[in-house]
């Protein structure tokens, strides 16, 4: 029975291959890159379960002859008092970023599309994209110029003139619940807007013209045409972000907070925790273990959300 | 659909002036938040370093200095060559990358293609898992021997899973299957459909992915860090990265080895890092309009059909 | 390019308490009697002769040609190819090896060298150091055990380098690298602007510290005076990770300072949790007092780079290491006159002896030849000076004074096609030629300084962190979270220190200390 099914499966694959030869050929270039760049080196993940020792001149043979240590390389982040808070911070911040991105980027793209002056729209688009180019180090300097206790703009020009004592921004975790999302949106809005803007550009204008004839105003057009047509894009981008929900933006959490220990209860996320942890040892097995763990969590979450999407609308699934 | 009719309908179908003004207002405020820091960065980059330490950042610095730029551009020959390398890999990489991504994305966007789920997953999977630095380095450097070639600066960045999936979504949401079917009935081959229908209808998508790829290539320094030792092949970003990372590394070492920080005195300070930011952004701002012209309104599928 | 190179190398020198003058003065220092080679006409006599002998010892005819790849952190040089050629022409008759110099810029070094080692790439000689994961690399099996090969292939190096240096290169009794002969001891201390000191009328008080080592408490009158006279100047500065408890008490760190568990300086070999010692607590209390008094900047916990403030004279007492003449060099780069005083006595730990080493990589196909080459680097002045200064006539010229050279006409340290300015990486420094204008008093001072250094009781012991790497990773975050605010005095140690200690113990501190103790006891038993 099983064999039979296998045979029909392989036969149908050959049939497909033959029928859609051109389509398969179109896949080849990307597949070559993926195989060389991603799938061939994938054997390296077993490093996560090994205590790597260089026993020969060759990485591969050394890797395979190294001792298996089970999940020992995972212990340093799973088995600590930080486990809970780090996981919570990572997921909550990233979750917040996903939602905020959706509710800001889509309206911004729609607004941008509706502006009467195309020239100004292009100017806005370019300007909004600029923060994307500022490395986190530069952003951290700017943030410091704002938040420094003694010399920061906020304390010097707002807080102190109002007669309050300067706020110790870098030792008060509560403020960072707002600062970090703000900085993130500021930096990524231009980027995300462009995707949705391109999505809107791809919408057939005939649809809007038909709507005008039906007497729909702009607001109705946005709700009934633009948003529904952008939904697949919104879903896919959200699914992709969910896959990366366990990967935090290192620069944001490390540089912008100046890695201030006092903020750790709020700002310590997986990537910064691991960075601090491995700065001393620099152990490749342990960093591979973390990457694997982050990937597995991401995969589980994406498969789950993908299933939900599938139940609601089959056309919008990631795969 | 004639162009006159189109223009007319556009005129009818516009937001009201008050709304327009409100939108502009929102954008002006947000854009100010994006531009002001950049202007500040520029001002800091031309501020004298000692003025920075006494007065802090200011839009109107008391003493100017071009030292930061002199520091960055001290080896003009190298800078020019690196600009060349960066331009080459960015242009070649972007075109190649957009092309192969579009091919792949088109196939997995076809609803009739039986294995679209599998091939989508194959791409997505690489977004979550990788074998790590050492195995990848081994394959490129020891097995393939691509170190110190221009090709190695292009190849690893050719396929970003996220771009493939975004492109696929663009295709499947803006190109109706019926169009492809109709073309097939007309006797068009797959290649012809791809080139004359899909690509033509997807300029905003191609421009978006092209823009992202441009940035990706332009900003990449890590590939060069790993694989390039020949100074002739060093891209601009890596050259600039060195300036910045060297300082950070030294600060870390000095604090780790506990030797205190009675050190690092002659390295570039904050002004140089701001100058690096300006030098990096410049060319990309110039490239931006090129992509923007593809974000046009009014592509109509009907026009293609007819 | 040049400016950067010079700047980088300059910074590195200071970092490792090294010595070399900004204008690119060649430098060398050594515990041995090599210092008499200075500007006097005397040849680097005995050493040179000996080196030449060594070099000719192996019969070149019998040696098959080999290629050697050497990786070092340094600013890449324009004329490296040219220099390689000159070097290899010379080496051909000596050891018949073709050496490739691979300079990896400083910013990339930490990312690149582990990948090169782990992937089994074509590397024969790798620069290494305590701060560049030397013990970890040995534990991972990246470096060849050269204990037995050394006497055979690099006999003169073994004979000439100070024995104390080789102790640092040992792991579990075996030697894994050849250390560079460099300054060995360390002292902690402070520098201050003489101009500001005069302005505040503190000259006499500060001068007194040069003869009588002050405690942290002793500094209070100074700090108070500065605070009272100029509120814009931070009396004690304060920088993230600057742990004054560590700098004043100078505990013996048993390897990497970031791994807790230390020995009292020159007392016994019992590993203690330094944070639980009364001495640490006393210093933290004083720091908190100083913080409240405003002697320390409010954001001390997050300021990582205070260079700008120091240059701008916004900090009065500048913490750091106080090797001889450090004040002159750093003062020169800050642009004002600095004076310095020490707060500890010269001390030699493994960290000091591991500042700069070169290891033969385990996967090297020609470890013997690599050692023979390192022997020349350490003993042959011609090889050594090609590496440091490039090609004679192209990059440097000899002067009338013997052993003193100058840049080739029209060249400076900044525009020469080859001037790595990393003397302390290329083996034995006392083989270096001198550059015109070099301060010659320096080496006598250094010799004196090194001789006064007291070696640690566990010098030569290297902690193998592998068995407790999980715990080390865990305590690192606790440390980063709480220690900066305690150490800078930002928070009250009465409340936070016990909290910190509890958290460290939860993270596995005791296990690390027990492991350290176990390894030290085992090591002592073999001595």
> What are the residue boundaries of the structural domains of chain C, listed by start?
2-183+353-455, 188-255+277-346, 467-526
pTM across the whole model: 0.86
List Cα–Cα distances, C368 to B245, C66, C84, in angstroms: 36, 11, 20
Confidence of residue A295 (pLDDT cuts 50, 70, 90): very high
Average pLDDT over residues A98-118: 93
- Quote the pLDDT of residue C449: 87
Per CB-CB distance under 8 Å, the chain B contacts of A202 are 170, 173-174, 201-202, 204-205, 299
Average pLDDT over residues A279-293: 87
> Which residue in chain C is spatially nearest to B252 when comparing CA positions?
C304
Chain A contact present for C42, CB below 8 A: no
Closest to C364 measured CA to CA, from C83, C73, C86, C145: C145
Per CB-CB distance under 8 Å, the chain C contacts of A75 are 470
> What are the residue boundaries of the structural domains of chain A, listed by start?
81-316
CATH number for C188-255+277-346 (one of 3.40.630.30, 1.10.3720.10, 3.40.190.10, 3.20.20.140): it is: 3.40.190.10
- Quote the pLDDT of residue B262: 32
Both tokens assigned to C153: 């292939």
The answer to whether the Cβ–Cβ distance between C121 and B249 falls below 8 Å is no
Confidence of residue C526 (pLDDT cuts 50, 70, 90): confident
pLDDT over 60 at A303, yes or no: yes
> Which residue in chain C is spatially nearest to B262 when comparing CA positions?
C320
- Quote the pLDDT of residue C382: 93
pLDDT over 80 at B7, yes or no: no
Average pLDDT over residues C348-364: 91
Q: Which residues neighbour C334 within 8 Å (Cβ) at sequence distance 6 or greater?
A: B265, C310, C311
pLDDT over 80 at B20, yes or no: yes
Per CB-CB distance under 8 Å, the chain A contacts of B31 are 123-124, 127-128
Q: Which stretch of A111-120, B68-77, B207-216, C37-46 has the lowest confidence by average pLDDT?
A: C37-46
Q: Which stretch of A263-267, C61-65, C340-344 has the lowest confidence by average pLDDT?
A: C61-65
Q: What is the pLDDT of residues C208-265, one digit of tens each?
A: 998 899 999 999 999 999 999 988 888 987 565 668 888 899 999 888 888 999 999 9
Determine the distance in angstroms separating the CA of C263 from the nearest CA of chain A, rounded to an integer: 19
- Quote the pLDDT of residue B192: 92
- Quote the pLDDT of residue C62: 73
Strands (E), C147-271: 170-171, 174-175, 178-179, 188-193
Which of C7, C107, C108 has its CB closest to that of B266?
Answer: C7
pLDDT over 70 at B250, yes or no: no
- Quote the pLDDT of residue B77: 85
Confidence of residue C116 (pLDDT cuts 50, 70, 90): very high
CA dihedral of B185, B188, B194, B200, whole degrees rounded to 10: -90
Confidence of residue B120 (pLDDT cuts 50, 70, 90): very high
Average pLDDT over residues B140-157: 94
The answer to whether the Cβ–Cβ distance between C140 and A53 falls below 8 Å is yes
The sign one gets for the Cα dihedral B27, B30, B34, B40 is positive
The answer to whether B179 and B186 have CB atoms below 8 angstroms apart is no
- Quote the pLDDT of residue B266: 52
Confidence of residue C22 (pLDDT cuts 50, 70, 90): very low
- For chain C, give the mean pLDDT: 83
- Quote the pLDDT of residue B154: 97
Chain C contact present for A71, CB below 8 A: no
pLDDT over 60 at B36, yes or no: yes
Confidence of residue C192 (pLDDT cuts 50, 70, 90): very high
The answer to whether A257 and A172 have CB atoms below 8 angstroms apart is no
pLDDT over 70 at B43, yes or no: yes
Interface of B with A in 88-117 (CB under 8 A): 100-101, 103-104, 106-107, 110, 113-117
- In a mutational test of the A interface, the residue from C296, C466, C481 whose CB has the highest number of chain A CBs within 10 Å is C481
**pLDDT > 90: percent of chain B:** 39
Average pLDDT over residues C121-131: 92
Chain C contact present for B254, CB below 8 A: yes
DSSP B198: I
- Quote the pLDDT of residue B304: 52
- What ipTM is given for this predicted complex? 0.89
Interface of B with A in 239-278 (CB under 8 A): 244, 248, 270, 273-274, 277
Q: Which residues neighbour B270 within 8 Å (Cβ) at sequence distance 6 or greater?
A: A141, B44, B49, B52, C308
- Quote the pLDDT of residue B61: 86
**pLDDT > 90: percent of chain A:** 54
Determine the distance in angstroms separating the CA of A278 from the nearest CA of chain C, rounded to an integer: 6
- Quote the pLDDT of residue C10: 39
- For chain B, give the mean pLDDT: 83
Q: Which stretch of C187-201, C444-458, C486-500 has the lowest confidence by average pLDDT?
A: C444-458
Average pLDDT over residues C473-484: 91
Q: How far is A115 from A218, CA to CA, in rounded Å?
A: 12
- Quote the pLDDT of residue A6: 55
Chain C contact present for A9, CB below 8 A: no
> Which residue in chain A is spatially nearest to C256 when comparing CA positions?
A280
Residue C13's SS3 state is: helix
C2-183+353-455 is classed in which CATH architecture? 3-Layer(aba) Sandwich (3.40)
Determine the distance in angstroms separating the CA of A173 from the nearest CA of chain B, rounded to an integer: 24
- For chain A, give the mean pLDDT: 89
Alpha-helix runs per DSSP H in chain B: 3-12, 17-45, 49-55, 67-72, 76-109, 116-128, 133-137, 150-154, 161-174, 177-185, 190-192, 199-201, 203-219, 222-227, 236-256, 270-292, 301-305
Q: How far is C505 from A77, CA to CA, in rounded Å?
A: 16
CATH number for A81-316 (one of 3.40.50.150, 1.10.3720.10, 2.160.10.10, 3.40.50.261): it is: 1.10.3720.10
Which of C141, C142, C473 has its CB closest to that of A278?
Answer: C473
- Quote the pLDDT of residue A7: 55
Chains B and C form CB pairs within 8 A to the count of 163
The set of chains that have 3 or more CB pairs under 8 A with B is: A, C
The set of chains that have 3 or more CB pairs under 8 A with A is: B, C
pLDDT over 90 at A137, yes or no: no
Q: What is the pLDDT of residues C28-58, one digit of tens each?
A: 333 333 333 333 333 333 444 444 444 444 5
Average pLDDT over residues C402-425: 82
- Quote the pLDDT of residue C35: 34
Determine the distance in angstroms separating the CA of C167 from the nearest CA of chain A, rounded to an integer: 22
Per CB-CB distance under 8 Å, the chain A contacts of B120 are 318-319
Average pLDDT over residues C23-31: 31
- Quote the pLDDT of residue C54: 45
> Which residue in chain B is spatially nearest to C237 when comparing CA positions?
B261
The answer to whether the Cβ–Cβ distance between C136 and A282 falls below 8 Å is yes
- Quote the pLDDT of residue A15: 85
The answer to whether C430 and C47 have CB atoms below 8 angstroms apart is yes
Confidence of residue C288 (pLDDT cuts 50, 70, 90): very high
Both tokens assigned to B226: 């790993």
pLDDT over 80 at C20, yes or no: no
pLDDT over 70 at B275, yes or no: yes
Q: How far is B270 from B67, CA to CA, in rounded Å?
A: 12
> Which residue in chain A is spatially nearest to B164 when comparing CA positions?
A30
pLDDT over 70 at A141, yes or no: yes
Chain C contact present for A264, CB below 8 A: yes
Which of A29, A189, A315 has its CB closest to that of B103?
Answer: A29
pLDDT over 80 at A173, yes or no: yes
Q: Which of C131-135, C161-165, C442-446, C489-493 has the highest mean pLDDT?
A: C489-493
The answer to whether C423 and C451 have CB atoms below 8 angstroms apart is no
Q: Which domains does chain B have, with CATH numbers?
A: 1-65 (no CATH), 76-305 (1.10.3720.10)
- Quote the pLDDT of residue A228: 92
Per CB-CB distance under 8 Å, the chain C contacts of B137 are 115, 119, 121
Is pLDDT larger for residue A38 or for residue B3?
Answer: A38
């Amino acid at each position: 029975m099983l064999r039979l099914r296998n045979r029909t499966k392989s036969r149908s694959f050959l049939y497909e291959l033959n029928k859609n030869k051109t389509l398969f050929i179109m896949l080849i270039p990307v597949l070559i890159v993926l195989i060389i760049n991603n799938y061939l080196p994938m054997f390296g993940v077993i490093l996560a379960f090994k205590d790597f020792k260089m026993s020969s001149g060759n990485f591969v043979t050394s890797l395979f002859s190294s001792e298996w240590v089970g999940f020992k390389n995972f212990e340093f982040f799973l088995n600590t008092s930080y486990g809970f808070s780090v996981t919570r911070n990572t997921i909550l911040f990233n979750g917040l970023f996903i939602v905020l991105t959706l509710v800001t980027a889509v309206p911004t793209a729609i607004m941008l599309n509706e502006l009467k002056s195309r020239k100004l729209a292009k100017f806005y688009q370019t300007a909004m994209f600029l923060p994307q180019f500022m490395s986190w180090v530069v952003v951290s300097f700017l943030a410091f110029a704002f938040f420094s206790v003694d010399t920061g703009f906020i304390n010097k020009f707002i807080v102190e003139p109002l007669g309050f004592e300067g706020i110790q921004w870098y030792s008060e975790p509560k403020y960072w619940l707002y600062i970090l999302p703000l900085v993130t949106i500021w930096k990524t809005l231009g980027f995300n807007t462009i995707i949705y803007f391109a999505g809107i550009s791809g919408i057939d204008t005939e649809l809007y013209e038909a709507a005008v004839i039906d007497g729909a105003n702009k607001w109705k057009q946005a709700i009934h045409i633009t948003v529904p047509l952008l939904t697949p894009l919104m879903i896919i981008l959200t699914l992709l972000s969910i896959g990366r929900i366990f990967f935090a933006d290192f620069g944001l959490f490390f540089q912008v907070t100046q890695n201030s220990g006092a903020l750790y209860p709020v700002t310590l996320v997986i990537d910064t925790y691991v960075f601090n942890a491995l700065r001393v040892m620099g152990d490749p097995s342990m960093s591979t273990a973390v990457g694997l763990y982050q990937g597995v969590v991401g995969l589980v979450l994406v498969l789950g959300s993908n299933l939900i999407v599938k139940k609601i609308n089959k056309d919008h699934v990631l795969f | 659909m004639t162009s006159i009719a189109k223009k007319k309908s556009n005129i009818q179908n516009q937001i009201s002036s008050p709304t327009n003004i409100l939108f502009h207002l929102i954008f002006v405020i947000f854009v100010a938040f994006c531009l002001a820091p950049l202007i500040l960065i520029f001002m800091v980059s031309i501020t004298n370093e000692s003025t920075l330490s006494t007065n802090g950042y200011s839009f109107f610095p008391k003493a100017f200095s071009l030292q930061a730029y002199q520091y960055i551009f001290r080896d003009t020959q190298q800078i020019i060559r690196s600009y060349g390398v960066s331009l080459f890999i960015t242009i070649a990489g972007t075109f190649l990358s957009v092309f192969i991504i579009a091919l792949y994305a088109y196939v997995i966007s076809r609803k009739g293609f039986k294995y679209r789920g599998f091939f989508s997953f194959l791409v997505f999977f690489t977004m979550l898992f990788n074998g790590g630095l050492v195995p990848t380095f081994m394959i490129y450097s020891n097995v393939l021997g691509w170190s110190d070639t221009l090709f190695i600066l292009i190849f690893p960045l050719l396929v970003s899973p996220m771009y493939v999936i975004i492109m696929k979504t663009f295709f499947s949401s803006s190109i109706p299957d019926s169009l492809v079917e109709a073309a097939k009935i007309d006797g068009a081959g797959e290649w012809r459909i791809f080139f004359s229908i899909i690509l033509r209808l997807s300029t905003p998508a191609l421009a978006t992915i092209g823009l992202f790829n441009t940035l990706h290539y332009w900003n990449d320094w890590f590939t060069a860090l790993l694989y390039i030792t020949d100074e002739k092949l060093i891209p601009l970003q890596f050259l600039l990265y060195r300036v910045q990372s060297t300082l950070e590394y030294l600060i870390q070492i000095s604090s780790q080895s506990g030797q205190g920080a009675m050190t690092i005195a002659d390295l570039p300070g904050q002004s140089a890092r701001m100058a690096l930011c300006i030098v990096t952004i410049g060319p990309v701002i110039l490239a931006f309009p090129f992509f923007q012209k593809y974000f046009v309104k009014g592509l109509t599928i009907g026009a293609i059909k007819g | 390019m040049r400016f950067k190179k010079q700047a980088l190398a300059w910074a590195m020198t200071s970092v490792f308490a090294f010595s070399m003058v900004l204008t690119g003065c060649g430098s060398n220092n050594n515990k041995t009697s090599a210092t008499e080679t200075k500007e006097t006409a005397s040849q680097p006599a005995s050493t040179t002769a000996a080196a030449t002998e060594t070099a000719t010892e192996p019969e070149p005819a019998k040696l098959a040609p080999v290629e050697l790849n050497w990786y070092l952190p340094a600013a890449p040089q324009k004329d490296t190819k040219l220099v390689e050629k000159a070097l290899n022409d010379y080496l051909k008759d000596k050891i018949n090896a073709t050496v490739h110099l691979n300079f990896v810029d400083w910013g990339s070094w930490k990312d690149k060298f582990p990948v090169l080692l782990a992937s089994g790439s074509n590397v024969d000689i790798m620069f290494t150091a305590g701060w560049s994961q030397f013990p970890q690399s040995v534990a991972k099996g990246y470096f060849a055990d050269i204990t037995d090969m050394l006497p055979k292939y690099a006999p003169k190096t073994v004979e000439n380098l100070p024995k104390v240096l080789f102790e640092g290169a040992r792991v579990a009794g075996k030697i894994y690298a050849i250390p560079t002969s460099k300054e060995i001891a360390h002292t902690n201390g402070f520098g201050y602007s003489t101009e500001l000191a005069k302005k505040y009328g503190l000259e006499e008080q500060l001068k007194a510290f040069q003869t009588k080592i002050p405690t942290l408490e002793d500094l209070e009158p100074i700090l108070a005076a500065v605070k009272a006279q100029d509120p814009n100047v931070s009396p004690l500065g304060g920088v993230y990770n600057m742990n004054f408890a560590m700098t004043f008490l100078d505990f013996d760190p048993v390897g990497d300072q970031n791994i807790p568990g230390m020995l009292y300086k020159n007392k016994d070999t019992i590993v203690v949790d330094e944070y639980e010692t009364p001495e640490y607590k006393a210093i933290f209390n004083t720091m908190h007092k100083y913080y409240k008094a405003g002697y320390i900047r409010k954001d001390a916990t997050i300021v990582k780079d205070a260079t700008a403030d120091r240059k701008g004279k916004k900090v009065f007492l500048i913490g750091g290491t106080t090797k001889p003449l450090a004040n002159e060099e750093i003062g020169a780069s800050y642009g004002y006159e600095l004076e310095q005083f020490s707060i500890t006595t010269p001390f030699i730990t493994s960290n000091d002896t591991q500042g700069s080493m070169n290891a033969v990589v385990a996967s090297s196909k020609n470890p013997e030849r690599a050692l023979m080459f390192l022997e020349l680097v350490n003993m042959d002045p011609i090889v050594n000076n090609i590496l440091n200064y490039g090609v004679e006539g192209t990059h440097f010229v000899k002067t009338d004074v013997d052993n003193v050279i100058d840049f080739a006409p029209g060249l400076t340290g900044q525009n020469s096609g080859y001037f790595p300015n990393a003397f302390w990486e290329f083996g034995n420094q006392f083989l270096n030629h001198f550059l015109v204008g070099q301060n010659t008093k320096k080496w006598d001072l250094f010799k004196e300084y090194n001789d006064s250094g007291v070696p640690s009781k566990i010098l030569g012991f290297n902690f193998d962190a592998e068995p407790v790497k999980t715990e080390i990773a865990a305590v690192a975050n606790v440390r980063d979270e709480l220690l900066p605010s305690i150490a800078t005095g930002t928070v009250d140690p009465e409340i936070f220190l016990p909290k910190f200690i509890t958290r460290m113990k939860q993270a596995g501190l005791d296990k690390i200390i027990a492991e350290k103790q176990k390894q030290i006891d085992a090591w002592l038993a073999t001595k």
